Amino acid sequence: MSLSSFRRCSLAALAVAASSVLPAVAHAEVDFSGKTIEWVIPFSETGGSAKWANFFAPLLSEAMPGNPTVVVKFMPGAGSTKGANWFQKQKHKDGTLLFGSSGSTQFPYLLDDPRVRYEYKDWIQIMATGTGGVAYLNAEDGAKFDGTANNLKDTDFIYGSQGATRLDLVPLLAWKMLGMKVEPVFGIKGRGDGRLMFERGEATIDYQTSSAYLKGSMPLVEEGKAVPMMAFGSVDKDGNIVRDPTFPDMPSFKEVCEATDGCETSGDAWEAWKAFFIAGFSAQKIAHMPGDTPQDVVDTYVDAFNQIAARDDFVKISSNALGKYPLNTGKLAQAEMASAVSVPASAKEFVKNWLQEDYGVSLK
C-alpha cells in the first residue's frame, strides 16, 4: 500500500471514532479557573511554530472552562530534540502542560537519529494542523529565476539550517534535485533565525513554513528584498502534489522540477522527497499532552479546539495567520500523527544514504 493510500485509510478508519468527540461536550468536573497552561515550543520565538502556538493560545484560553491563561514558552536546542527529550520525561500534574512538535521533530525520529530519546506513542495528540512551505531567493538571484532553476545552477547559495535531519531536508533535497548548489550552515535554533540570516545577507536562499512566510517573509517580498521561487505544494485526495491553496499563484516544486533540465518527478529521489514532504507537512504542527493525562482532561482540550474550529471567524483568521490548512483534533489528530511517522523504508534508506554522501551524517 502506498503512503498516500495508507494515510487516507488511517484517517478514514478513525473518522467514525473521532466523530463522537467532535461536537463540543461540557466537562463540568474539569475547571481551569485561575490556572496557567504552559505551551512549550522546542524552537526559538521567531519561527513558524511560535506563530502557530501564539495564534492558538488566546483562542484556547477563551474556549477552555475557567478561561485559564495560556503562556507559550520556548525551549530551543538541537533542532527541537532537546525540548522533545524533555517532554518525554514529563508526567501529568493538573492538565496544564502542552507540547508543540513539528516536522523537524518528526524527521529525527523517522531517521533513527541517536539523539532522539522520545516516543510519540507515549504522548497524547490533542490537535494537528497541516502547513506548506515557500522557498525564496534574494533580489539579485531572484532576477534570474524564470520558473525553472536552469539559470541558478552556477550560483553558490548559502542557507541557514537547523540540521540535515530536520524539516530542512525537504528544501535541501528539492534544491539538489533541481541541480542547485546550496551550502547549508547548520546549527540555527529555528527557521526564524534562518530568515534573520537571510535579512542580514548572511544567507542568500531561504524557506519558511506558511505561517512564518506570511508574517515574516512576505514583507521582504513586498519591499523587493526577496523573490518567491516556489511553494512545495499540497497533497490532493489521490496523493498527487498540487499547488498549495494558500499560495495558488505560486508554482509547486513539482512544476519547477518538471520545467528544469535534469530534474525528474519519478524515480527514487522524487519518491523519497514526496514521502518526507507528506510526513513533514500534512501534519506539520501537533499539540501533545503527557501520556498519563486523564481522559476527562484530554476531552476538555479536544472540545476546546473543536470550539475554536467551529468559530464563525476561524477560517478567515486562521487563513490570514497560518494559511488554508485543516485542523484535526482527538482521534483524527492521532491518525495524522501515525501517518506522519509511517514513511516507507525505501524512502528512509534513500534519505539516509543522501545525508551520508552529501553531509557526512551517519544514521546507519
Instruction: Give the pLDDT of residue 364.
Output: 66
Q: Would the pTM of this model clear 0.85, i.e. be above it?
A: no
Label residue 261 left, alpha or beta by phi (over 0 means left) and psi (-120 to 50 means alpha). beta
Instruction: Please name which of 136, 159, 148 lies closest in space to residue 221, comparing C-alpha atoms.
Output: 136
How many whole angstroms separate alpha carbon 202 and alpha carbon 200? Answer: 6
Q: Three cell numbers at 36?
A: 496557567
Parallel/antiparallel/unpaired status of strands 181-186 and 156-161: parallel
Are 46 and 195 within 8 A, CB to CB?
yes
Are 95 and 297 within 8 A, CB to CB?
yes
pLDDT band at 310 (very low <50, low <70, confident <90, very high): very high
Q: What is the pLDDT of residues 71-109, one digit of tens each?
A: 999 999 988 999 999 999 999 999 999 999 998 899 999
Domains identified in the chain and CATH numbers: 3-130+281-340 (3.40.190.150), 133-279 (3.40.190.10)
Is the pLDDT at 284 greater than 90, yes or no? no
Is the pLDDT at 342 greater than 80, yes or no? yes
Write the DSSP assignment of 158-200 as a string of letters: EEEES-TTSTTHHHHHHHHHTT-EEEEEE--SSHHHHHHHHHT
Structural Rg of the chain based on CA atoms: 20
Q: Three cell numbers at 326?
A: 485543516
Instruction: Give the pLDDT of residue 228.
Output: 98
Average confidence (pLDDT) over 235-261: 95
Rounded percentage of the chain residues whose pLDDT exceeds 90: 81
Query: What's the half-sphere exposure (Cβ side, CA atoms, 13 Å) at 282?
Result: 31
Instruction: Give the pLDDT of residue 16.
Output: 38
Instruction: Give the pLDDT of residue 147.
Output: 97
Q: What is the pLDDT of residues 136-161, one digit of tens each?
A: 999 999 999 999 999 999 999 999 99
Sign of CA dihedral 282, 287, 289, 294: negative
pLDDT band at 5 (very low <50, low <70, confident <90, very high): very low
Phi (first) and psi of residue 323, to 5 degrees: 105, 175
pLDDT band at 111 (very low <50, low <70, confident <90, very high): very high
